[in-house]
Structure 1
């Protein structure tokens, strides 16, 4: 899918998605956090969404907007998207088959089984799991729900940005972690170029930075601390087009900053974020995102599927 061939969701599309999924998802809260020496930011607590990440938004919209009720939901995932699709399947009474890499965290695999999904693991990366999923996705009655590069997914994820606009008067900037780009793509589609949008990536998984430099989505080899949730091998063409159209800025953070951000969330808010969920805050701590007055800088905490045992007790 080439960037110039995609149709970016409109605000009307996202409004329609919000109405359709309203009875199935949580309207997640916001929380102001004062950071010494920097100021006060607003956290969008999307880790409180069903399955502890933003992913059910796009998965529910894709399933509910299908032309015919599917008999099987199929997804490839590093973990969080699979959990969302499994949850959607259970909520709607549709079997789910989830494909994961062998490197997926045990906590996510166990949760998938508890949600009643059929789980298959293949290869070392998300791309390997995706390739393995294609045969099931092509079976009669199956609906493949892409983790990030599909109109239903991006449109559904854009409903989070709609909530932010309603919850934070005068929002000036929004920082979002990026893997395949679905959440940032939806956020960019909603806000456009009227708000400063910052796509934050860990140094080991720079899909947006690589695409920006090349002028198109290109393959990378994801690695590092947050690769279980942000480990796409390339950014989606649709999210990339939406992000380019909105003038979304690229920021890269180091693992040490991600660890510090994760510990800050736990120490100050008792939020046990997964590394990928703390990536956007890391950019604030590194002073790569300016803190606007009165909480006008919004930082999305996008996931909490993690083992909290390594967080400090104090």
Structure 2
């Protein structure tokens, strides 16, 4: 596939229409963030509990339509959410799915993977190790290898969120997203550039693959040591994410572990919304003041996932 464009996002939207759920959007109380108008995009309310359903549904539908889905099914490496979405999409189409996850993956995600009928393999302590094992499995079995964030169909599928946000929030100025490997960010940036919306990319200070790539001018390996690493734990961002960070003139910000934990707890206490630390990473940029909207700015924060351990909330 050539360089991704907004036409790919539109094609993805047509493929997944009626399969994924339109994103619910709620307004934050007036005055909560100065005079800015802030909205929460609840894309964790997808079937598998995260925005990843968009990319997984587009990936499966595109390969089935093209006749390129093998009998061996699909294999993916994931910190959890991409695997859940892949397993959900595969089950919907009667396709076998094998998911490689690190041994550190939260048990709540592993249990859900098995409930969706996926064959789960736990390998290594980081996403990168699980990815290597998944690629080897694909070569040995003929299974189609999907990527958690660096596949054109996955990125285009993720981009379908932004048009839905614009329909819900006319005049949207800015969208804030958490970044791991960069699939959601890249898809959002493609659509945002088309519509003239600013993108703010937020990462944990100790898990900053895109931020480091922007700083270095090329993708680089980074340390992965964050409470949000189960979802944002890519050791390096994709080339696609770096390309669109430059092309969309995205703002890259970092937030502390304390800010992430505080944002997650606060959204539970004030809205009774249960989200992952990854989703709280985007929210933390606003709540901690790392991102300060201009007066009257219309801002949407993407709450991207909710496959989390409830016992960690007070």
Identify whether the pair has TM-score above 0.5, normalized to the shorter chain.
Answer: yes
Q: Does 2:293 correspond to 1:291?
A: yes
SS of the residue 2:206 aligns to: coil
The 8 Å contact of residues 189 and 243 in structure 1, kept in 2 or not, is answered as no
Q: Does 2:96 correspond to 1:95?
A: yes
Instruction: Provide the aligned C-alpha RMSD in A.
Output: 1.6
Q: Does 2:34 correspond to 1:38?
A: yes
Alpha-carbon shift at residue 13 of structure 1 (Å) = 1.4
Task: Call closer, same or farther: CA 1:239–1:7 in 2, change over 3 Å.
Answer: farther
How high is the TM-score relative to the length of structure 2? 0.94
Q: How does 1:121-200 map to 2 (within 5 A)?
A: 121-139=122-140, 141-192=142-193, 194-200=196-202
Q: How does 1:54-69 map to 2 (within 5 A)?
A: 54-66=51-63, 67-68=66-67, 69=69
Counterpart of 1:267 in structure 2 is 269
CA distance in 2, matches of 1:20, 1:208: 29
The 8 Å contact of residues 75 and 99 in structure 1, kept in 2 or not, is answered as yes
SS of the residue 2:11 aligns to: helix
Alpha-carbon shift at residue 289 of structure 1 (Å) = 2.1
Instruction: Identify unmatched segments of 5+ residues in structure 2.
Output: none
Counterpart of 1:21 in structure 2 is 16
Counterpart of 1:247 in structure 2 is 249
Displacement over 4 Å in runs of 4+: 292-295
SS of the residue 1:50 aligns to: coil
How high is the TM-score relative to the length of structure 1? 0.94
Task: State the number of aligned residues.
Answer: 307
CA distance in 1, matches of 2:250, 2:162: 14
For residues 187-226 of structure 1, what are the alpha-carbon distances to aligned partners after superposition, in whole Å with 9 as ceiling and x for unaligned? 0000117222100001110001110111011111211110
SS of the residue 1:52 aligns to: coil
Instruction: Identify unmatched segments of 5+ residues in structure 1.
Output: 1-5
Counterpart of 2:45 in structure 1 is 48
The more displaced of 291-300 and 227-236 is: 291-300
Counterpart of 1:238 in structure 2 is 240
SS of the residue 2:300 aligns to: strand
- Given candidates 294, 303, 306, the residue that maps to 2:305 is 303
CA distance in 2, matches of 1:70, 1:251: 41
Alpha-carbon shift at residue 156 of structure 1 (Å) = 0.6
Q: Does 2:75 correspond to 1:78?
A: no
CA distance in 2, matches of 1:293, 1:50: 36
Counterpart of 1:3 in structure 2 is none
